């Protein structure tokens, strides 16, 4: 359980790092969520887990009612160490779903970063655990490899852009948190998007 409050997680930065370049456009906001329906044993892989992320722009970074979608991403939590899509998860659980969602969001942001016109980034999650691991404010006691991966991705990106993390209350009828939850549940069903590193040519479930 995270020790930080929602307020503590409103704005996280790494001390001693060089300041990122000034953003030249509006903020990109990414809402992330994980899902593992029915999972009650975090040491079991008998229940599939998924992750989801929705990338928006043009909102107020709070309710974002007027924001428009840039991308929607979803997929399953991968526990197969031989898979090119493996991020370090060894179990399927709500926490590995939450961490995978943040990791996949960071990967997408890395892939779509324009160093000539950097934009501010705001990642929002209903998991204080995932946010704390991402920012290095919490020391992981489980999911170690996945946690290290998430934090490395965060550290790399924070050198390039103004990056903010914040908590959004889950199951509060927040439009984009609900959307991220919907996408995560798609991933838990084994559905895969067709964006970024998940892009493929074969027929299957695809992102719009």
- In tens, the pLDDT along 40-55 reads 556 666 689 999 999 9
Residue 76 token pair = 């399953």
Report pTM: 0.85
pLDDT at 39 over 90: no
Q: What is the pLDDT of residues 106-118, one digit of tens each?
A: 999 999 988 878 8
Which domains does the chain carry? 28-196 (3.30.420.10)
Does residue 146 or residue 207 have the better pLDDT?
A: 146
Count of CB atoms within 10 A of residue 31's CB? 28
pLDDT at 29 over 70: yes
CA-wise closest residue to 149 among 88, 79, 98, 80: 88
List b or e across 137-162, with b for residues whose CB sees 16 or more CB atoms inside 10 angstroms.
bbebeebeebbebbbebbbebbebbb
């Amino acid at each position: 359980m995270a020790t930080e409050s929602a307020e503590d997680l409103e704005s996280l930065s790494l001390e001693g790092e060089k300041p990122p370049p000034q953003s030249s456009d509006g903020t990109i906001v990414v809402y992330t969520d994980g899902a593992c329906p029915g999972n009650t044993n975090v040491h079991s892989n008998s229940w599939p887990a998924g992750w989801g992320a929705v990338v928006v722009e043009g909102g107020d970074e709070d309710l974002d009612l007027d924001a428009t979608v840039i991308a929607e991403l979803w997929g399953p939590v991968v526990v197969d160490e031989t898979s090119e899509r493996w991020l370090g998860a060894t179990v399927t659980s709500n926490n590995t779903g939450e961490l995978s969602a943040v990791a996949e969001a960071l990967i997408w942001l890395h892939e779509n970063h324009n160093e000539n016109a950097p934009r501010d980034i705001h990642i929002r999650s209903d998991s204080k655990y995932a946010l704390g691991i991402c920012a290095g404010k919490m020391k992981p006691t489980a999911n170690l490899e996945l946690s290290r991966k998430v934090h490395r991705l965060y550290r790399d990106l924070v050198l390039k852009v103004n990056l903010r993390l914040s908590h959004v209350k889950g199951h509060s009828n927040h439009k984009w948190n609900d959307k991220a939850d919907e996408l995560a549940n798609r991933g838990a069903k084994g559905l895969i998007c067709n964006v970024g590193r998940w892009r493929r040519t074969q027929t299957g479930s695809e992102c719009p």
